[in-house]
Amino acid sequence: MTSLNNDVVEGLRTALRGPLLRPGDPDYDGARQIWNAMIDRHPALIHRCAGTADVCTAVAFARDHGVPLAVRGGGHNIAGNAVCDDGFVIDLSAMRRVHVDPDARLAWVDGGALLGDVDHETQAYGLAVPLGINSTTGVAGLTLGGGFGWLSRMLGLAVDNLVGADIVTADARRRHIGPRAEPDLFWAIRGGGGNFGVVTRFEFALHAVGPAVTAGLIVFSAAEGRDVLRRYRDYVDTLPYDVSIWAVLRKAPPLPFLPADVHGHDIVALAVFSPRPPDEALPAIAPVRAFGTVLGEHVGAVPYAAWQQTFDPLLAPGARNYWKSHNFATLSDDAIDVVLRYAGSVPSPQCEIFLGLIGGRANEPAVDATAYPHRNVTYAMNVHGRWSDAADDARCVAWAREFFAAVAPYAAGSVYVNFLTQDEETRIHEAYGPNWDRLVQVKQRYDPDNLFRFNHNIPPAG
C-alpha cells in the first residue's frame, strides 16, 4: 500500500460513498480497533462501506493494485482477521440493516449486522434464527463459519437456516446465490469462512421463538465438579432437542442470586435454555438440581433477546483474549478430570472453560450437506483465556495451550473454525475436515489468485 500515491488513493475516495480512512485521520484509531485487544494492526486504508456498490469498488481496487485485503463484519473474530497491517480493510460495520417478512418467515440481514440487531427486529414478530450466544457478535463471521447457539439443537446451525446470500466475489461482481443459483459457491460459504468473497446480505429462514423463553443458571461448587459433570454428560443423552444445557467453569462473578461468600470461588455453572414456556420446559430441567449441591439458581421465563445479552458483560470488548478449542463427540471421565484440573488453576479471574452443547438437529445433515463438516459433535469445548494487562500475556497463553494439549487425547480431532486463533494455521484442515478438497476447487473457481486470504485460508487448487 505504501507504493500507492495520493492521487490513486484520492481517486478511490471520490468513487466511494462511505468514508475512506487513513492513518492520522480522526476516526482511524477507533476504526482499526476490534474486540480482541491483543490485535494491534495498522491498515493503510479503512473503508466504511455505505452499500454494496462501495464493496464492489473496494474489492476491484484491492484486486487491481495487488494490496492485502481484510474484511470486517462485527470485528469479533478471535484471530483478528478483520484487520491487517499495511493493507486495505473493507469495513461493513455501517451496514447493519435487518428486514423481516413475518408472513414468509424470512429475514434479510446486512453483512455488518450484529446478533442484537437481528434479535431486535425478529423478536418484534416472535421470530428468531439460530445464531450465537452474545448479542455483540457479528452475524457474518459467525454464519460463514457455521454458527451455533442456544437454538441449534432444536433448529440446526445458522448455515442450516441460510437460504440465500448476496456476495461480492474477487472479480468485483455482486452475485445472488442460493440452492439453485451458483450452488457450489452457496455450499462453500456455509462453513468455509470468508474465503470466497464479501457477503453483503444474508437471507435466513425464521422460526417461532419467544418473545419469552425459559432460561437461566444453576450453579454448583467446583469441589463437586467431577460428579456434576459426569451426571451432566449422562443426562445430555436423554435431553429432548428443545432443551440445551451448557457447562461453564470459572471463578464466580458477583451475581445477585449467589451468596457473597461464593463470589470469586471456583464454580461449575450450568446454563439452561429452552424456547418452551416454563410449564413445559422446567420438568426437563428439574433433574439438573440433583447433580450436586446447588449454590444458587436463577431460572425462569425471560425475554429471548434479553437472554442473548446475558453473557455480554463477560465478553465485552477491550480485554486481551486467547482461545484454544476442541470438538468432542463424547466426554470421557478422563477428559472431565483434565477440565477440572485446569479450571482450578485459571491465571485470571476472567478466564473460563465452557462446554457448548450442540447435537440434536445440528447433527442430522450429512457431512457434505454444507461446508461445515462437524456433524458428529456433541460438545464444542473452548478455553476463554481473558485478561487485562499485557504483562500477563505469556502466563495466560501458556495456561490455555497446556490445557489444550492435556485434553487433546480425548477430543474428536476437529475444531470449529471460528474458534481458531491466529497461530493455528496447522489446524485449518481439522476445521474443514473431509470437505477440504471440494472447498479448494470452489476457491480455485471463484478466487484463483487468493485475494481473500486474510482468514483461515483455503488456498486455490493452482
Q: Which fold has domain 6-91?
A: 3.30.43
How high is the pLDDT of residue 301? 97
Q: pLDDT, tens digit, for every residue of 111-148?
A: 999 999 999 999 999 999 999 999 999 999 999 999 99
How high is the pLDDT of residue 5? 85
Q: Is the pLDDT of residue 436 over 80?
A: yes
Which pLDDT band, with edges at 50, 70 and 90, does 4 fall under? confident
Distance CA 290, CA 223 (A): 15
How high is the pLDDT of residue 2? 56
Length of the chain measured in residues: 462
443's CB contacts (< 8 A; 6+ apart) are 188, 195, 196, 450, 458, 459, 460, 461
Q: pLDDT, tens digit, for every residue of 325-366?
A: 999 999 999 999 999 999 999 999 999 999 999 999 999 999
Q: Is the pLDDT of residue 428 over 70?
A: yes
Q: Is the pLDDT of residue 462 over 80?
A: no
The span from the first CA to the last CA of the chain, in angstroms, equals 26
Domain span(s) for CATH 3.40.462.20 in the chain? 212-422
Please determine, looking at this structure, whether the domain spanning 212-422 carries the CATH number 3.40.190.10.
no
Strand partners, 251: 266
Residue 66, classed as helix, strand or coil, is coil
Q: pLDDT, tens digit, for every residue of 381-391?
A: 999 999 999 99
Share of the chain above pLDDT 90, in %: 98
Distance CA 39, CA 32 (A): 9
Q: Cell digits for 335?
A: 477428559
User: Where does residue 254 rank: exposed (0-12), middle (13-18), buried (19+ CB within 10 A)?
Assistant: exposed
User: What is the arithmetic mean of pLDDT over 230-248?
Assistant: 96
Q: Cell digits for 382?
A: 473452548
The rounded mean pLDDT for the chain is 96
Which pLDDT band, with edges at 50, 70 and 90, does 1 fall under? low
Q: pLDDT, tens digit, for every residue of 264-308?
A: 999 999 999 999 999 999 999 999 999 999 999 999 999 999 999
User: What is the arithmetic mean of pLDDT over 358-380?
Assistant: 97
User: What is the arithmetic mean of pLDDT over 3-25?
Assistant: 93
Contact 417, 456 (CB under 8 A): yes
CA 300 from chain centre, in angstroms, equals 26
Domain span(s) for CATH 3.30.465.10 in the chain? 98-209+435-446
Distance CA 112, CA 20 (A): 17
How high is the pLDDT of residue 22? 95
Q: Is the pLDDT of residue 431 over 90?
A: yes
Domain span(s) for CATH 3.30.43.10 in the chain? 6-91
395's CB contacts (< 8 A; 6+ apart) are 347
Which pLDDT band, with edges at 50, 70 and 90, does 3 fall under? low
Distance CA 175, CA 197 (A): 10
User: What is the arithmetic mean of pLDDT over 42-57?
Assistant: 98
CATH number (3.30.60.50, 3.40.50.720, 1.20.1260.10, 3.30.465.10) of 98-209+435-446 reads 3.30.465.10
From residue 434, how far is each of 18, 99, 367, 430 by CA, in Å? Answer: 40, 35, 8, 9
55's CB contacts (< 8 A; 6+ apart) are 49, 90, 92, 168, 174, 198, 200
